[in-house]
Amino acid sequence: MPIERKPIQRGGIKSAGYDRNARILEIEFSTGRIVQHTNVGDEIARRFMASSSPAGYYEDNIEEDYPLKR
Q: What is the pLDDT of residue 57?
A: 97
Mean pLDDT of the chain: 95
Is the Cβ–Cβ distance between 10 and 55 less than 8 Å?
A: yes
The predicted model gives 31-35 an average pLDDT of: 96
- Work out the average pLDDT over 28-40: 97
Per-residue DSSP letter, 68: B
Write out the H or E segment, with its range, that includes residue 35: strand 34-37
Helix (H, G, I), strand (E, B) or coil at 64: coil
Task: Please check the confidence at residue 3 and state whether its pLDDT lies above 70.
Answer: yes
Average pLDDT over residues 47-64: 96
**pLDDT band for position 70 (cuts 50, 70, 90):** low
Let me know: does 55 contact 38? Beta carbons within 8 Å.
no
Do the Cβ atoms of 11 and 52 come closer than 8 Å?
no
